[in-house]
Amino acid sequence: FFTVLNMNIRDAAVEQIEAGSTPSKTAEGEFSTGESANRYQILQHIYTRCQEEVEKAVSPGAGLLNKLLRTDQDSIRANQLRHYLCPQKPKTISSPDGTSVDLPGSKALVKPSELIDALQNAVRQIRTVEKTGTVDKAAAAGLVESCRQIAIEARLAIGEGYGIESEELKEFELSLQPVFRPDNAESEYVKGV
């Protein structure tokens, strides 16, 4: 389904360029020419909504990883990481009529350990597909690097949310060490499974 949808999105982008308007990304990641919605924008919106539905069906860590990989802007990714990985502190808000409402804190929506599992599985799967020869080494390396960059950003968010001396941060670092710095060439994170 996604392959066909991507082919249609590519065709719509080419049509739009040939018609003399260049697609450009908006803040939401959708493409826009400043006019009313066109075929390209509609297909891009359908793609995004379908991805969001898939993210609901997989484990929370895998869903978050997919969302982060689709997000191009660093600042948005940082906000997503803080929102999903960190516990929310209690807050007090004031309404326009002057009354105060206390909002309780909450646990993290996605446990750091769930993101660890998702990153480990993603790197293992990338290396396994690379081993079959269906993807070249450069593409595989690029995907692993994207996962590594997300792990770096997640580490910063976990440090902010839990503290730099927290067990959550220590576990995150120790669990991902063998993924991104394997101790030998026979590691499943180098060779796949």
∠ CA 139-143-145 to the nearest 5 degrees? Answer: 115
Q: Provide CB contacts within 8 A for 100, sequence distance 6+.
A: 92, 93, 94
Q: Is 46 helix (H, G, I), strand (E, B) or coil?
A: helix
**Which letter does DSSP use for residue 135 in this model?**
S
Position 153, amino acid = E
Instruction: Pull the structure tokens for residue 138.
Output: 């450069």
pTM for the model stands at 0.73
Residues 63-111 have pLDDT tens digits of 999 999 988 899 999 999 999 999 988 888 888 888 888 888 889 999 9
